[in-house]
């Protein structure tokens, strides 16, 4: 049976719940709810395990805060003996319109502290990721407030359908592989 590590990036704490920056956590919460599994506190992360078509998915929400995400990611890769290409990092992306997703095998950190931490810890930018568009509709100098802000009313309404799409993409990634997953979901 093959194992996968699905890493949702976000910050712990009530003040960060349902913010744009925490979309990685939101996607994993949706996936776990859908599968009827729950997260347990563990070493460096809240962890849930689910089975899908003969695959085991370890869902982790690092409890290290965003800028130390690499520590949790690396720990769980090693602990569960999962190859890096069998992992997927879920991250917010300013450069994409709201709700658009892009799946890819590698890329720069784009100034994202969570990705920066992963890159520094693993020593590579070659790890699969799912980028979730949060748009960049903020005034100059207001990026931090925007990213750490809550979804607006319109986004809030559209979110469940986009979370469902992400859930399908994650399951497809584990079943049909990265290339076919990219072909299928990068158009959505």
Residue range 41-94, pLDDT digits in tens: 999 999 999 999 999 999 999 999 899 999 999 999 999 999 999 999 999 999
Nearest by Cα to 11 from 145, 114, 125, 103: 114
| Residues making up the chain, counted from first to last | 188
**Could you tell me the domains of the chain?**
3-185 (3.40.50.1470)
Catalytic residues: 21
Query: Nearest 10 degrees: CA dihedral of 7, 12, 18, 24?
Result: -10
The yes-or-no verdict on residue 188 having pLDDT over 80 is no
Residue range 113-147, pLDDT digits in tens: 999 999 999 999 999 999 999 998 888 888 899 99
For helices 69-79 and 113-122, the axis angle rounded to 10 degrees is 50
pLDDT at 1: 63
Among 3-7, 32-36, 144-148, which stretch is predicted with the lowest mean pLDDT?
A: 144-148
């Amino acid at each position: 049976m093959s194992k996968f590590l699905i890493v949702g990036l976000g910050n712990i704490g009530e003040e960060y719940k349902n913010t744009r920056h925490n979309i990685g956590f939101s996607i994993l919460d949706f996936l776990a709810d859908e599968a009827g599994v729950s997260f347990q506190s563990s070493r460096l992360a809240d962890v849930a395990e689910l089975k899908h078509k003969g695959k085991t998915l370890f869902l982790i929400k690092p409890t290290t805060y965003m800028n130390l995400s690499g520590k949790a990611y690396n720990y769980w890769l090693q602990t569960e003996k999962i190859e890096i290409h069998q992992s997927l990092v879920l991250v917010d992306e300013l450069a994409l319109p709201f709700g658009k997703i892009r799946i890819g095998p590698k890329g720069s950190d784009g100034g994202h502290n969570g990705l920066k931490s992963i890159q520094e810890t693993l020593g590579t930018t070659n790890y699969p990721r799912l980028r979730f568009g949060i748009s960049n509709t903020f005034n100059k100098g207001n990026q931090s407030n925007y990213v750490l802000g809550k979804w607006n009313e319109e986004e809030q309404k559209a979110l469940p359908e986009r979370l469902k799409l992400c859930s399908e993409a994650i399951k497809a990634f584990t079943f049909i592989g990265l290339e076919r997953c990219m072909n299928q979901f990068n158009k959505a």
